[in-house]
Amino acid sequence: MSDLKIRPATEQDIDLILQFVRELAIYEKAEHEVLATPDHVRNTLFGANPAVFGLICEVDAKAIGFAVYFFNYSTWQGRHGLYLEDLYVTPDARGHGAGKALLQHLAQIALDKDCGRFEWSVLDWNTPSIEFYDSLGALPQNEWIRYRMTGDALQGLAAGAQKMPA
């Protein structure tokens, strides 16, 4: 690609980030699950003490993709890890190195921050992405089952904690 640039996301990118989030959700057949608002993004990525960070990928000053990541922790390693929450490249820019450049940039951040791991999840039907990640030497972690709790189940579990004696 001609002039490829990866830069930290800024508050001026909020609408762009939300656009990319919607495009990714459409690709993942989950557009109905997108609840993020400009205020959510502003508060979480650009508030006083952000715990999540964003990157914007540009070619010739046109935004073509983004990545959102945060740091987790491995008790076994005693070190932080970098977790890639989302990576998205617009369809017309795919296959030209932007995704790989974003992953390389994130890998360098992980090394700079002394992270012991760089991890992400991929939908099991997303064959092009799985093949791409395999080509980079990433290994699937098939022995782990990811769990998620939202809505009523999350509120119900938390309500049980509120009733416990201190």
Segment 28-48, tens digit of pLDDT:
999 999 999 999 999 999 999
For position 161, what pLDDT does the model report? 76
* pLDDT over 90 (residue 2): no
What pLDDT band is residue 165 in, cutting at 50, 70 and 90?
Answer: low
* pLDDT over 80 (residue 1): no
Q: Is 73 a residue of the active site?
A: no
Find the catalytic residue in 73, 88, 133, 147: 133
For position 166, what pLDDT does the model report? 61
Select, from the ranges 10-19, 118-127, 139-148, the one with the highest average predicted confidence (pLDDT): 10-19
**Looking at residues 103-122, what average pLDDT do you find?**
97
**Per-residue 3-state assignment (H helix, E strand, C coil) for the chain:** CCCEEEEECCHHHHHHHHHHHHHHHHHCCCHHHCCCCHHHHHHHHHCCCCCEEEEEEEECCEEEEEEEEEEEEECCCCEEEEEEEEEEECHHHCCCCHHHHHHHHHHHHHHHCCCCEEEECCCCCCHHHHHHHHHCCCCCCCCCCCCCCCHHHHHHHHHHHHCCCC
For position 160, what pLDDT does the model report? 84
